[in-house]
Structure 1
Amino acid sequence: MSVQKSDAFFFFGGKSNLNTDDLPKEWVALQEKEIQAYARHIAKYRLEKLTVHEVIKAHARAKGSVWNKIPPREMWDNMGPTLQVADKLAMALGSDLKEVTSAYRCPAYNARCPGAKPRSYHQQNLALDLMFNTSQSRVARVARELRDNGLFKGGVGRYNIFTHIDTRGHNADW
């Protein structure tokens, strides 16, 4: 596995640990072991354009006093196909990922997100909101082309500052 500096990983005797120094200390303290375990799980997908750190950082958010969390372990595999779609999308765009603005959302955190649906695919660990260094119209168009070419079945939603993708199993557009 080739690791770039941007992956923010350190290697110790074959085990990798995510560098959490730039993540909110309160959030890290609440779930350090789960963060490290989930980071290792994500690394198994060998993504080329998305880094593990970018994905983990998307979880390190609070709305008021409610912190988001790393997804429950039984949902970890749900994110694999979505991450692979996002990686292929970044390659197809030929544009750098600016930010993963949202990934898994725990129910309490999701309830505080303006505009979030109560049954959001983010709560099932199937969805990502992505910002690229290109127009969101282009991102959504290319995501739909990839989907139309059979890469995945799922949702593509274009918003002003990000594009939502999910692998729900049936197609939806907005």
Structure 2
Amino acid sequence: MSNFRESILLPEQNRNISEIPIASRRKVLGAIGLTATALCASSTTASAGWLFKKKDDDMPVVKVRTSSNQRSTSQNLSRNVGGFPDEWTRLQGSNIAKYADYLNSLKMKKISAQDVISAHAKQRGDCWNTLPPKEWWARMGYTLRVIDRISEIMDISVKEIVSAYRSPQYNARCAGAKKHSWHQANVAVDVQFETSAYHVTQTARAVRDRGLFKGGVGSYSSFTHIDTRGTSVNW
């Protein structure tokens, strides 16, 4: 069975570092040396193969093996969640508190449970999005820790988790969303930072290509898509 480094980390590559402004490049390169080590010690490991299959021709299927050890942090984000639409809260029931407990257990430095859950409490027409299935929670844990680490490297706060898990029904209502969106597999996040999306995109690609994770990085005008599908893709 492959270990975390064998199954997730990429060989060193330098192709995107030159695209980052010099000041940001120095900050990124100074932090990259610690990045792979930090994530290798984290709670999520991947199986030897991340599998992409089509199930009923409507969504990707990902197989991820996880462990329960968690990395500690000295920063205390708020553990409280709330303020969601009443109808959505009623539909999700006790899963809201349970998912918040899981997210808080990740002990992220820059992302709170409120940030993540708020991305799910959205409606398109008469269709509400939902929280992810419980058996898929650990998939998002790895993606969130990647984003949390990128935030640390840039030393810039996350402004908003725009989108995380999308149910198939909700995804079908999202303009421009692909039928086989990785958001449906709970491994993708659209995120805004307190800086330009271009800067975030270039930094995410640079640290990925230096070994932080394997996944997709998509550039949009107001946010960056980051996922941990297991194959590196840019758009």
Confirm or deny a common fold (TM above 0.5): yes
Q: What residue number does 2:161 align with?
A: 100
Q: What residue number does 1:50 align with?
A: 111
1:143 aligns with 2:204: yes
1:124 aligns with 2:190: no
Q: Distance in 1 between matches of 2:151 and 2:211?
A: 17
Q: CA deviation at 1:2?
A: 6.1
Unpaired stretches in structure 1, ≥5 consecutive residues:
10-18
Q: Distance in 1 between matches of 2:199 and 2:150?
A: 11
Q: Distance in 2 between matches of 1:82 and 1:8?
A: 19
Q: What residue number does 1:71 align with?
A: 132
Matches within 5 A, 1:80-91: 80-91=141-152
Q: What residue number does 1:7 align with?
A: 78
- 63-72 or 29-38: which moved more? 29-38
Larger radius of gyration: 2
Q: Confirm or deny: 8 A CA contact 2:75 2:109 kept in the other structure.
A: no
Identity score, percent:
46
Q: What residue number does 1:16 align with?
A: none
Q: What residue number does 1:14 align with?
A: none
Measured on the aligned residues, the alpha-carbon RMSD in Å equals: 1.3
1:169 aligns with 2:230: yes
Q: CA deviation at 1:8?
A: 4.8
| Higher-RCO chain (CA-CA 8 Å, sequence separation at least 6) | 2
Q: Determine helix, strand or coil for the equivalent of 1:77.
A: helix
Q: Distance in 2 between matches of 1:122 and 1:42?
A: 17
Corresponding residue to 1:160 among 208, 215, 221: 221
| Residue identity opposite 1:7 in structure 2 | S
Q: Deviations over 1:40-72 (max 9, x none)?
A: 111111100011110010000000110000001
Q: Determine helix, strand or coil for the equivalent of 1:53.
A: helix
Of Structure 1 and Structure 2, the greater strand share is in 1
1:34 aligns with 2:95: yes
Q: Confirm or deny: 8 A CA contact 2:167 2:184 kept in the other structure.
A: yes
Q: Confirm or deny: 8 A CA contact 2:158 2:191 kept in the other structure.
A: yes
| Residue identity opposite 1:44 in structure 2 | S
Q: Deviations over 1:80-111 (max 9, x none)?
A: 11011110111112111110000000000000
Q: Distance in 2 between matches of 1:2 and 1:90?
A: 16
- Report runs of 4+ in structure 1 exceeding 6 Å deviation: none
Q: Distance in 2 between matches of 1:52 and 1:125?
A: 15
Counterparts in 2 of 1:48 and 1:54: CA distance versus 1, 3 Å: same
